[in-house]
């Protein structure tokens, strides 16, 4: 069985981490499966794959529908005798469809990793309902529900949680956060991981920090945010300066293996306005760090408020600040929260479980049973 994984994303994020984890798991548990990853030449995912033993190829992507990328898909299918194309982002669907028009490609699977609704545009609906897509792997039940609104054959939708890889854990980092930012031992580090994109809603993050620091007058919390800077970053930094928060929130920028810093956090904060399920939550479960999050996407499927974490509505900085206050004013709840999350992770949300469910679907499609 030969699978071609297609990624047309130039940055590194949870979706690319999913591809990497899936390839690692399948190599370990199903060596009969040959995985080839096609990624954007010169992108962060390309740089990351260079440091692994994953079999990968690259193609240029100068614009959204770069014909060179599509032709590379067609050539790889022929070169490796690909049985199935696993598409990992919306741009890759369009590029694969173009390739299919010139070369009869094998069946497609599409991984829907966000809970964004599919736009009701003619070409967009055509793309997502393309006949070669045999299954839609949704990262959560909420993603499945949202996607079903735009898919004609909803029997093709299946939920497969991504989970975390238990075999590739490391706390190795190029520096210690406390040393880099001179954070005293009696202060707690609230960690935030995510690229500076609209979905992560870091505007609410800064509002939350402002309430915690300037209204609640807490001096025991320091916020550290890790993730790619974007065109949204200057406005975020301007807000930090406006509220005089420069000593209280630090933006680290892109850092390889960002999840390795989680053991240095005292808690994880998620302020997203839309999500599938952030991989960083699973990582925090593993490292037994409490999670405070907005209740968006599939997050309520893995966190129950005041049982194994704390949830708030999206866009509600006041509620997030109150939850942070509650957590650190009642530290006795943290061991129960983290133990319940850890046990839930081991039984439901590992990449080993994800890989088994994925290979089951691969076989069904290749054998014509799905």
Q: How far is residue 271's CA from residue 204's CA, in Å, rounded to a whole number?
A: 6
How many Cβ atoms are within 10 Å of 78's Cβ, its own excluded? 10
Question: Is it true that domain 2-163+350-366 has CATH number 3.40.50.2000?
Answer: yes
Could you tell me the pLDDT band of residue 167, with boundaries at 50, 70 and 90? confident
Q: What value does the mean pLDDT take over residues 288-309? A: 97
Domain boundaries, the chain: 2-163+350-366, 177-348
User: What does the longest C-alpha to C-alpha distance in the chain come to?
Assistant: 64
Q: Note the pTM of the prediction, 2 decimals.
A: 0.88
Q: What value does the mean pLDDT take over residues 7-16? A: 88
Q: Does the pLDDT of residue 63 top 80, yes or no? A: yes
Examine domains 2-163+350-366 and 177-348 and report if their fold is the same: yes
Query: At CB < 8 A and 24+ separation, what contacts does 304-307 make?
Result: 307/337, 307/340
Q: What value does the mean pLDDT take over residues 266-272? A: 98
Q: What value does the mean pLDDT take over residues 282-302? A: 96
Q: Report the pLDDT value the prediction gives residue 369, as an integer from 0 to 100.
A: 67
Q: What value does the mean pLDDT take over residues 155-180? A: 92
Least confident of 99-113, 201-215, 222-236, 356-370: 356-370
Beta strands in 41-114 (DSSP E): 56-59, 84-87, 108-112
Residue 323 parent element (H or E): helix 317-329
How many Cβ atoms are within 10 Å of 19's Cβ, its own excluded? 25
Higher pLDDT, 242 or 12: 242
- Written out in words, the top-level CATH class of the domain with range 177-348 is alpha beta
Q: What value does the mean pLDDT take over residues 117-135? A: 96
């Amino acid at each position: 069985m030969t699978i071609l994984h297609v990624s047309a994303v130039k940055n590194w994020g949870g979706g690319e981490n999913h591809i990497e984890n899936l390839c690692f798991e399948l190599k370990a548990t199903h060596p009969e499966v040959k995985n080839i990853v096609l990624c954007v030449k010169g992108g962060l995912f390309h740089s990351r794959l260079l440091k692994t033993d994953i079999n990968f190829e690259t193609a240029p992507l100068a614009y959204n529908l770069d014909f060179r990328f599509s032709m590379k898909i067609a050539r790889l299918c022929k070169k490796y005798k690909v049985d199935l194309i696993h598409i990992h982002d919306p741009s890759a669907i369009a590029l694969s469809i173009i390739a299919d028009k010139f070369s009869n490609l094998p069946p497609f699977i599409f991984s829907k990793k966000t809970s964004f609704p599919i736009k009701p545009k003619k070409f967009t609906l055509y793309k997502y309902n393309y006949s070669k897509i045999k299954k839609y792997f949704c990262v959560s039940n909420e993603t499945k529900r949202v996607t079903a609104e735009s898919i004609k054959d909803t029997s093709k939708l299946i939920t497969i949680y991504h989970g975390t890889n238990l075999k590739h854990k490391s706390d190795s980092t190029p520096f210690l956060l406390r040393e880099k930012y001179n954070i005293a031992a009696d202060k707690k580090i609230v960690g935030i991981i995510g690229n500076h994109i609209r979905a992560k809603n870091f505007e609410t993050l800064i509002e939350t920090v402002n309430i915690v620091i300037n209204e609640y007058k807490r001096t025991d919390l320091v916020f550290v945010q890790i993730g790619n800077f974007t065109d949204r970053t200057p406005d975020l930094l301007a807000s930090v300066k406006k509220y005089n928060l420069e000593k209280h929130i630090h933006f680290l920028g892109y850092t390889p293996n960002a999840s390795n810093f989680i053991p240095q956090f005292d808690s994880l904060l998620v302020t997203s306005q839309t999500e599938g399920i952030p991989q960083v939550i699973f990582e925090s479960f593993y490292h037994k760090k409490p999670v405070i999050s907005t209740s968006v996407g599939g997050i309520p499927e893995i966190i129950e408020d005041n049982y194994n974490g704390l949830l708030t509505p999206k866009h509600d900085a006041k509620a997030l600040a109150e939850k942070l206050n509650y957590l650190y004013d009642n530290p006795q709840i943290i061991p129960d929260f983290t133990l319940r999350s850890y046990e839930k992770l081991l039984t439901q949300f590992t990449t080993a479980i994800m890989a088994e469910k994925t290979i089951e679907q691969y076989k069904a499609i290749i054998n014509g049973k799905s």
